[in-house]
Structure 1
């Protein structure tokens, strides 16, 4: 019933309790109770006597039909199940639980994550129907060693998609963030299941800020931005996920065959810290040097005392000193 109510209220207009009850086949009292649950989830609802209920600004709800209609035939061919939930703890967690049952190319979407995670266990803020949180499962046959650079390849694919939507100047921060003018726009979280030396599946989780309510800003512990700020008007989230999938799927196919090497130069062009002095924090240790981009295996190249050294994933982060 909540999903039906939200679909009606998504237009941002007033709807009376009697009207809503008639559409859903329930009493006005039942509608009132459902509205309390909607408010408890963090969605702002206006209630005006004589006019009814309204969600100010409306909602840009995800719709599987609207998404699949915009997917290219080659993308659809690679996708299996498309799952859409209103609220779940994490799309990555659901994908990890279902990876063997649902298989290759399964896409998991949700309007809200209650326990979304960023890198190193950080909380990923996810207000209802405001941003984009999705996970895609993808099968690889060459083992974990062949997955080096995968998060960087995903970043390249996301930038390609955003560029198609006229979102300019998005940059990559090694190894898995997208930035705009130094502020975080998106993050990528990869998790692997299966044989580390053979057949394995990777859950590719992406969180992208689309239209973040400013009331959620206090929950974010780093500089951030969203597509609403960048573009002035955020694209429809249904169009956004379709365009991103149309970019991501061919990149994953290419990566499966050739690894990250063919994408190195494209990543370098978007490198947010190219030729800048940066600090790398590895556990309690840190290194400082000049960022010289990445190698064909996705390792970060850092010039330290005149020599170039490689740094791989794990607990490495990059921050301007």
Structure 2
């Protein structure tokens, strides 16, 4: 019996006795008990009531390759080489990077219910509780080397925001270079990692994390203002959300490969969280204050500073509103 099998039964949110679980799954009560303990070790909350059995506190819908595929546009589905879902990974990006070093993994999608070592930009941890949020990484091959990737993180952020809008979540803004915000709090982040020829064909792992229904206990470890989608009147189905994002992202990547970031610039700036505002840009060596003027055709941040208009590209930088 796999944990997936046990979760599939408990996912209805109803009480199930150990005996009933054993009968339904064809195993002993001792085997059921061991798997229940594994769930607790994963951080999955279980309610146990003597005489009634065990239940999940909320209805749990796991990521499902078939449900995701069924919700994809046919043209998008054809572009995906594979969808590989895991219960637990150190990180989807690390798995995708390891796979891409073994050969071309263009169009391969990696999902996880939980990450034990999820990463954000600048080496920060990405809090990744089990079955609560969305963590995925997509391998995509580009020609033209690193120079052809300018603005890629902005395109990905735009596509994610458009997918969210297609799900009725329209109050999402973009923070340069790769964060998504709601009410100035972080909803999602993007991490890009490249392998291959820096001046020729290369593979990029596009990692995305979206907070869907973060538990308060887990969220205590987050060291910055954050938000999720738990305020929605109808709970967000992660399978539908992932499909909506992919339906925007893959066509966007195809066009980006041909035309670069410039065709997406106006749409990105329409969602710019700091448009026209005073901001502080921090680099490893300096802090630069200025007024945000959006981005140029390559995706570089434009600031009006005391020295005039300046353009800043991605890297080890951080942007925040001025005090």
Q: Which runs of 5+ in 1 are unaligned?
A: none
Residues matched between the structures, number: 320
Q: For residues 193-272 of structure 1, what are the structure 2 equivalents within 5 Å?
A: 193-229=195-231, 231-272=232-273
2:160 alignment counterpart: 158
Shift of 1:173: 0.3
Q: Does 1:35 align with 2:36?
A: yes
- Maintained 8 Å contact 1:60/1:130: no
- Maintained 8 Å contact 1:147/1:259: yes
C-alpha distance in 2, partners of 1:102/1:232?
A: 42
Q: Does 1:142 align with 2:144?
A: yes
> 2:179 aligned to 163, 166, 177, which one?
177
- Maintained 8 Å contact 2:104/2:203: no
State TM-score, norm by structure 1: 0.98
Provide Cα deviations, 1:92-122, integer angstroms capped at 9, x if missing partner: 0000011244611000001000100001011
* Greater mean deviation of Cα atoms: 19-28 or 173-182: 19-28
Q: For residues 297-308 of structure 1, what are the structure 2 equivalents within 5 Å?
A: 297-305=298-306, 307-308=308-309
Provide Cα deviations, 1:14-57, integer angstroms capped at 9, x if missing partner: 11111111122211111112111111111111112221111111
SS of equivalent residue, structure 2 residue 230: helix
Shift of 1:234: 3.1
Q: Which runs of 5+ in 2 are unaligned?
A: none
C-alpha distance in 2, partners of 1:50/1:240?
A: 38
- Maintained 8 Å contact 2:107/2:140: yes
- Maintained 8 Å contact 2:193/2:205: yes
Shift of 1:306: 6.0
Provide Cα deviations, 1:214-271, integer angstroms capped at 9, x if missing partner: 1112110011111112x33332001010111001000000100000000111111100
Pairwise CA RMSD: 1.0
- Maintained 8 Å contact 1:137/1:203: yes
State TM-score, norm by structure 2: 0.97
* Greater mean deviation of Cα atoms: 259-268 or 53-62: 53-62
1:192 alignment counterpart: 194
- Maintained 8 Å contact 1:80/1:102: no
Q: Does 1:285 align with 2:298?
A: no
Q: For residues 2-151 of structure 1, what are the structure 2 equivalents within 5 Å?
A: 2-99=3-100, 100-101=102-103, 103-151=105-153
C-alpha distance in 2, partners of 1:186/1:213?
A: 16
C-alpha distance in 1, partners of 2:97/2:161?
A: 25
- Maintained 8 Å contact 2:85/2:112: yes
